[in-house]
Structure 1
């Protein structure tokens, strides 16, 4: 409304009225956003929080919404993403496969430690040597 030139007092009144009748509910929006984007796009808590903050959602509301994503569910989602992409990397050498697969997870907001662990386990399940992967990356 500010970009359209609506005076601040009018904006406050309209938004206040919307909030009174339940049309503006950041917590409900954030929760729905997190559920939709985690399930649909496989985004991790870090990426979900970033998206909500860029949309102007309050930091406390963002924190509460992203905490709803269970760490075990986040790991399962990471494993599913790697499993989907793994077949397309079979012609590549192990280092390139690792780089591609961890890159997919990184772009979706997964911590480096989780990404490397999930990729290592997926490659080992295929019988690929993973000595080239670092062992000391902490789970962020």
Structure 2
């Protein structure tokens, strides 16, 4: 009588194969920086030389690209979360990216673009606010909303003041 399944291989996958499989699993969920992958490999006890070889290979085939990751991150977080240049730089820094990569990724955001994005965020919220009541409370809430997204206190105050004046005038007409 023969066994229904072929005998299992006695050789286990090498540490390098295991590390590569881990990286590919992590990259399947979402794009990651080299530093994030290095951290995950170190956390699981993979030697630095194994990690370096795996990550170099993944970078060579284009699966790990910190510059592309940073550009995509900035575009996505600006569009979806309305983050400021300063907040985006902090997020990228927390992801382990080099200062040169961060500077290049956020370099296209100028003060005018920051102002316009802040105005759009405030306008969207302001339309839903009741300005017949406590306008100071509304202004504080809007300034705090911008501050949480990384906009400077000065810019937040100026944008909110301008937007509230415009909205009050619009509602009077």
Which TM-score bucket, shorter chain as reference?
Answer: 0.7 to 0.9
TM-score (norm: length of structure 2): 0.69
Q: Which runs of 5+ in 2 are unaligned?
A: 1-40
Within 5 A, what are the aligned runs for 1:76-91?
A: 76-90=116-130
Q: Which residue of 2 aligns with 1:13?
A: 53
Paired with 2:142 and 2:123, the residues of 1 have a C-alpha distance of 10
Q: Which runs of 5+ in 1 are unaligned?
A: 129-140
The reply on whether 1:53 has 2:126 as its aligned counterpart is no
Paired with 2:150 and 2:103, the residues of 1 have a C-alpha distance of 15
Give the SS at the match of 1:13: helix
- The structure that has the greater radius of gyration is 2
Paired with 1:100 and 1:87, the residues of 2 have a C-alpha distance of 14
Paired with 2:153 and 2:58, the residues of 1 have a C-alpha distance of 41
The reply on whether 1:122 has 2:163 as its aligned counterpart is yes
TM-score (norm: length of structure 1): 0.84
How big is the shift at 1:63?
1.5
Q: Deviations over 1:82-134 (max 9, x none)?
A: 01111333254121111100001000011112111110111111338xxxxxx
Q: Which residue of 2 aligns with 1:110?
A: 151
Paired with 2:49 and 2:105, the residues of 1 have a C-alpha distance of 30
Paired with 1:120 and 1:106, the residues of 2 have a C-alpha distance of 14
